[in-house]
Chains A and B, each alone.
Chain A
Amino acid sequence: MEKVLEVKDLTVSFDTYGGKVQAVRGVSFDLYKGETLAIVGESGSGKSVTTKSLMGLIPSPPGRIEKGEINFEGKNLAKLSDSEMTKIRGKDISMIFQDPMTSLNPTMKIGNQIMEGLIKHQKMNRADAKKRAIELLELVGIPKASERINQYPHQFSGGMRQRVVIAISLACNPKILIADEPTTALDVTIQAQILDLMKDLQQKTEASIIFITHDLGVVANVADRVAVMYAGKIVEIGTVDDVFYNPKHPYTWGLLGSMPTLDSTEEELVAIPGSPPDLINPPKGDAFAPRNPYALKIDLEQEPPMFKVSDTHYAATWLLHENAPKVEPPESVKRRMKGFAKTGAAPAAGDKKGDES
């Protein structure tokens, strides 16, 4: 498969009044053409910061990319100036934001907000841009597009606004689309519609999507591959099947164990104890060790490297070392893994028809 984007050892930090926060600590991954890569993790794990670095949207100061490469079409985006990045943002890489209620300019007509990018990147005149904007609104499923184009954001509902945001992001046929929790702020029924819309649009445009979420149900529904992030690092990465049927990292087990499913009603949810580490002073060794019931002594001493599980599947845990004791995932997680296998990797079926619950 053709590689669209390559991220190598990306390290991002923020200066705060409490000290330097190491938000992203050496993240590496590849993105292939036409695929959807989901990045999951709890809040503060660095998933949003990672994607904002790809867009060159890290506020600086206080943030900065300390080291690492972001290779896209022969350019290292991490080294580009802001004005060079403006030629890529919105054209080759675009972004959908989390909260549609706040991500549109309240005093600007919807049409103008879509047309801006077209006029800048495609050098269209206003008439052509307007025509294209109406097409885009129709594409994302907004009825009476030619009338609504002259309306302001407050005249749209939340779901409709998110469709507008998607239309803005698709305006210039981007090669990469970053979706930062695009459905979190929406009602469950609307969530399903937006997810369907995105899958549909991806087939039409062949864009690669990076999908950020903390909702594993959504992951199984939309993603081809999954990267699990914890404390600024990718701890496990693989295809959806790899990660759901054969998870290797204890943190991934924890995430799967804390995920509610429809078919296993008697099941108790297993919470991960403790809270994420302080990224101003990250702990020595494996950052997850203090919360990890399977922690080894070496976890407190050294950071684990990425161990290869299969050609597509890697995980950063000492449990994969040849000297490590054989540890099985907890029973509840195993039962879930079996459950996924039975229902065909669709724990998100419930999500899609969320109105049932």
Chain B
Amino acid sequence: MARYVTQRIIYMIITLFLIATATFFLMKLLPGTPFNLEDKLTAAQKAALYEEYGLNDPLPVQYANYIFGLVQGDMGISFQFDNRKVEDLIMSRIGPSAQLGFQSLVLGTLLGLILGLISALKRNTGYDYTSNVIAILGISIPSFVFAGLLQYTFGVKLGILPVSFWDSFKHTILPTIALAIFPLATVQRFLRTEMLEVLGSDYIELARAKGLKNSVVTYKHALRNALIPVITIMGPMVVGLMTGSLVIEKIFAIPGIGEQFVRSIQMNDYSMIMGTTMFFSVLFVVVILIVDLLYVVVDPRIRLTGGKE
């Protein structure tokens, strides 16, 4: 177990290092400079700016400074957002994003589990079909289309929920639903498949043959075994939430990391892009690590073998 964890953490560090390096050099490849009002600056002002941001140093020095700074949590200074530190900007935006992500994850996962369970237990009935239609719409309809639909229906037409901004809990309802639909659909489809496979397995038949009640067989034997692999889709789901948050935060004008990222892309704020990219990468890699470790803890079959195939 300890060896497995160490190995995984080493991989994680290599991956992050590669991402950081790639990000840095890709950014350096870009033509032009990051200052959007460049034309209006005098040569002296430009030189001062370049000096201030260390853009005159040789590339290897800049690279070393960047990596060294990253390790200490220093992501540089934003060129566009009032020259503030990138890490401070990210931290200042983390609240709404975290709340939105958490609410959607909880709502989507819970509803997904319920729908998936109903589908598997009532296979080939109206319940199953309805639940499957919801899931296929959920993975198919792009979040921005769904968000637009929600905004127009509940915000513009019915006027019962605010169309945008982030003031009260009421403001979080529409974006949460819009973002929850993807985890909901993913979990529904995954749990349904797993549950059907488990329900068809020999050990479930043996459990029935013991004379256990249907509810005991379903929840104690089947659901437990079907839930374990659901942990593995947490990784893709977090990526889905990150992707979704860019769009949803833009549409609903939520002051989160995603909205800031989209703006920094539109304004060519390279240090902000690099910083947010690293932030997303770290988040993703850590989630994957937690998921893998959790899996080892939860599934007794993996515990003793020390690693999984």
Contact = CB atoms under 8 A, between A and B. Distances in A.
Contacts, number: 79
Contacts of A88: 211
Contact of B228 (A82, A107, A108, A121): A107
Choose among B202, B206, B299, B301 the residue with the greatest number of A CB atoms under 10 Å from its CB: B206
Given A106-B225, A152-B301, A97 B205 contact: yes
B122 to A, nearest CB: 11
Contacts of B207: 105, 116
A169 to B, nearest CB: 8
A154 B211 CA distance: 24
A98 B212 CA distance: 20
Interface in A79-115: 82-83, 85-91, 94-95, 97-99, 102-108
A102 B202 contact: yes
Given A99-B202, A102-B201, A90 B210 contact: yes
Given A105-B225, A106-B203, A154 B300 contact: yes
Given A102-B201, A104-B203, A89 B208 contact: yes
Nearest to B201: A102
Contacts of B228: 107
B266 interface: no
Interface residues of B, number: 22
B71 interface: no
A57 interface: yes
B213 interface: yes
B209 A94 contact: yes
A117 B211 contact: yes
Contact of B206 (A85, A103, A120): A103
B298 to A, nearest CB: 8
Interface string A270-314: 000000000000000000000000000000000000000000000
A116 B228 CA distance: 22
A55 interface: yes
B206 A107 contact: no
Nearest to A86: B211
Interface of A: 55, 57, 61, 82-83, 85-91, 94-95, 97-99, 102-108, 116-117, 120-121, 152, 154-155, 165, 168-169
Given A55-B209, A103-B206, A104-B203, 10 more contacts: A86-B211, A89-B208, A89-B209, A95-B209, A97-B202, A103-B203, A103-B205, A107-B224, A107-B228, A116-B212
30 contacts: A57-B205, A57-B209, A86-B213, A88-B211, A89-B210, A89-B211, A90-B209, A90-B211, A95-B206, A97-B205, A97-B206, A98-B202, A102-B201, A102-B202, A103-B206, A105-B203, A107-B224, A107-B225, A107-B299, A107-B300, A108-B221, A108-B224, A116-B207, A117-B212, A120-B210, A121-B211, A154-B300, A154-B301, A165-B206, A168-B210
Closest 3 CB pairs of A and B: A90-B211, A89-B211, A90-B210
Interface of B: 124, 201-203, 205-214, 221, 224-225, 228, 299-301, 304
